[in-house]
């Protein structure tokens, strides 16, 4: 069971309800304005997730970056294929890559361990020394010092390896399950002077407005909306027929008002490696990732984005809008 404190702060698990939100961006000046884009512009970050998790995921996602099908990707530093990502990044020093902070390992056939030395008392390892399978377990059991030690170790490993870090995100939204976890997430952004993924929509849904304009209280931290350039997070979840995948993406994007959006995609190839790894969660498995890959690589999707006037953008450019307060 998740503690009552954690339950109160499931403020970002509404992330998947983004398409249901009716409110558009309402900060005093949007990130698009601060970056000099015209009124009415729709900026779109297309972000590949879980790089370093499997060779299949790396193949699909790194190819998508090279081809320009996506604009950024998140890297799992504790992932077993992290060294492959580092090797690739050395020949692509201008790549837009984020550290995907991770405190859980959600597959039974492929597990990974913390970067730092952790004991079971810290709540971040199971009896075998692996990360817990459940992000909910982490929210209920992880200790603050263990969390800070581990997320800092992940950031430091990425930095020492020379990863060109453009932003900080997190695996399965685990850093947003409790006030303590959020504070650690927030701290990493401040310590490394990097933007963290936190859309305005989520801040408004769960934060408490303060007396200062555009300042909200979240998890005991006062956050300035101008430090978060994204308006919404978007994702197509399992449950659709393969033939309906492209249409689902088009419907998700077509009616969006002007603003800055992040479209999260999980790319992979439906091969033997990924099938073996994800057998226990088939709805989130190899075919799901193949469907996403098929969409982002399709000429039809590229034409749709062009026809609808979406401007593709990455975190490196978005970072320029942070701190540009009116």
Domain containing residue 128: 4-321
Q: Is residue 326 part of a domain?
A: no
What Å distances lie between residue 67 and 120, 245, 305, 312, CA to CA? Answer: 43, 21, 15, 13
- Taking 90 as the threshold, does the pLDDT of residue 117 lie above it? yes
- What's the CATH code of the domain at 128? 3.20.20.370
201: confidence class by pLDDT, cuts 50, 70, 90: confident
Give the count of domains, the chain: 1
pLDDT digits (tens, 9 = 90+) for 128-170: 999 988 888 888 999 999 999 999 999 999 999 999 999 999 9
223, 215 in Cβ contact below 8 A?
Answer: yes
Q: How far apart are CA 187 and CA 196, in angstroms?
A: 10
Residue 28's pLDDT is 53
Whether residue 181 lies inside any domain: the answer is yes
For residue 107, tell me if it sits in a domain: yes
Cβ burial, residue 97 (10 Å; 0-12/13-18/19+): buried
Residue 123 lies in a domain: yes
Question: Cα(311)–Cα(238) distance, rounded to whole angstroms?
Answer: 26
Q: What is the pLDDT of residue 109?
A: 83
d(CA 278, CA 293): 16
Q: pLDDT tens-digit profile of 52-64?
A: 999 999 999 999 9
Tokens of 257: 């008002």
Rounded Cα distance, 200 and 202, in Å: 5
Encode pLDDT of 66-88 as tens digits.
Answer: 999 999 999 999 999 999 999 99
Is 186's pLDDT higher than 60? yes
Residue 90 domain-assigned (yes or no): yes
> Which two tokens mark 320?
């320029």
Residue (of 84, 48, 46, 27) closest to 231 by Cα position:
27
**Reported confidence tier of residue 2, pLDDT bands at 50, 70, 90:** very low
For residue 48, being part of any structural domain is answered with: yes
CA distances from 307 to 250, 254, 260, 264, 301 (A): 11, 10, 17, 21, 10
Q: What tokens does 68 get?
A: 């320009």
Q: Are strands 221-224 and 215-218 parallel, antiparallel or unpaired?
A: antiparallel
R_g over Cα of the chain: 19
pLDDT value for 7: 40
Tokens of 113: 């361990």
For the stretch 313-326, pLDDT in tens is 999 999 988 864 44
Pairing of the two strands 72-75 and 97-101: parallel
Query: Alpha-carbon distance 231 to 45, whole Å?
Result: 11
Helix (H) or strand (E) holding 222: strand 221-224
pLDDT for res 13: 38
Query: In Å, how far are 102, 201, 277 from 273, measured between CA atoms?
Result: 22, 37, 6
Q: What is the pLDDT of residues 204-251, one digit of tens each?
A: 877 788 998 889 888 888 888 888 889 999 998 888 889 999 999 999
Is 259 within a domain?
yes
Provide the percentage of residues in the chain whose pLDDT is more than 90: 63
Domain membership of residue 43 (yes or no) is: yes
Give the pLDDT score at 157.
97
In degrees, rounded to 5, the angle at the alpha carbon of residue 126 between the alpha carbons of residues 122 and 130 is 100
């Amino acid at each position: 069971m998740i503690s009552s404190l954690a339950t109160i702060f499931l403020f970002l698990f509404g992330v998947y309800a983004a398409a249901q939100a009716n409110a558009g961006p309402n900060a005093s000046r949007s990130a698009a304005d601060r970056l000099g884009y015209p009124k009415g512009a729709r900026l779109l970050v297309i972000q590949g997730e879980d790089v370093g998790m499997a060779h299949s995921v790396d193949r699909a996602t790194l190819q998508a970056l090279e081809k320009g099908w996506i604009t950024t990707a998140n890297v799992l530093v504790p992932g077993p294929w992290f060294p492959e990502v580092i090797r690739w990044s050395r020949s692509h020093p201008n790549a837009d890559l984020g550290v995907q902070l991770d405190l859980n390992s959600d597959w039974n056939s492929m597990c990974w361990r913390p970067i730092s030395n952790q004991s079971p008392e810290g709540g971040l390892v199971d009896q075998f020394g692996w990360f817990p399978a459940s992000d909910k377990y982490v929210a209920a059991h992880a200790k603050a010092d263990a969390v800070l030690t581990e997320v800092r170790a992940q950031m430091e490993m990425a930095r020492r390896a020379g990863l060109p870090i453009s932003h900080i995100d997190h695996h399965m939204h685990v850093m947003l399950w409790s006030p303590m976890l959020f504070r650690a997430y927030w701290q990493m952004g401040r310590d490394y002077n990097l933007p963290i993924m936190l859309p305005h929509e989520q801040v408004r849904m769960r934060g408490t407005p303060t007396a200062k304009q555009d300042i909200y209280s979240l998890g005991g931290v006062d956050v300035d909306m101008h430090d978060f350039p994204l308006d919404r997070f978007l994702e197509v979840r399992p449950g659709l027929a393969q033939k309906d995948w492209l249409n689902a993406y088009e419907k998700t994007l077509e009616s969006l008002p002007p603003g800055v959006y992040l479209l999260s995609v999980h790319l992979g190839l439906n091969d033997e490696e990924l099938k073996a790894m994800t057998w226990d969660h088939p709805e989130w498995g190899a075919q799901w990732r193949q469907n996403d890959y098929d969409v982002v690589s399709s000429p039809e999707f590229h034409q749709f984005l062009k026809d609808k006037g979406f401007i593709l953008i990455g975190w490196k450019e978005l970072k320029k809008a942070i701190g540009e307060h009116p």
